[in-house]
Amino acid sequence: LPVSKPDPAPIRHAVSLMGLSPSKSFYVGDAPGDVVACHGAGLSSIIVNYGYLPLDEDPKTWKAHYYVNEPIDILSVFKQEA
């Protein structure tokens, strides 16, 4: 697409290609732009508290739907929403 995150169009496009509903989909990211794109696309955002996070930023200020500390924690989010 001619745009990238934080524009929600790429995420909307990917969800559409997979035949999924945005309201039942999640996006896992590690940046504020990921949250902005998710909110705009109508997906739930999961931010990982590891990865390429700047030391001087608090991911909680990004207002994601969920935050996880380890990859396995993502499964708990899915179970919670099931």
Give the model confidence (pLDDT) of 65-79 as tens digits: 999 999 999 999 999
Looking at per-residue confidence, does 51 or 3 come out higher? 3
> What token pair was written down for 71?
């990859």
Mean pLDDT of the chain: 93
Distance CA 58, CA 17 (A): 33
Question: Is the preceding omega at residue 6 within 30 degrees of 0, hence cis?
Answer: yes
Strand order from edge to edge, sheet including 26-29: 26-29, 44-48, 66-68
pLDDT, residue 2, reads 97
Q: Cα 25 to the chain's mean position, in Å?
A: 9
pLDDT, residue 57, reads 86
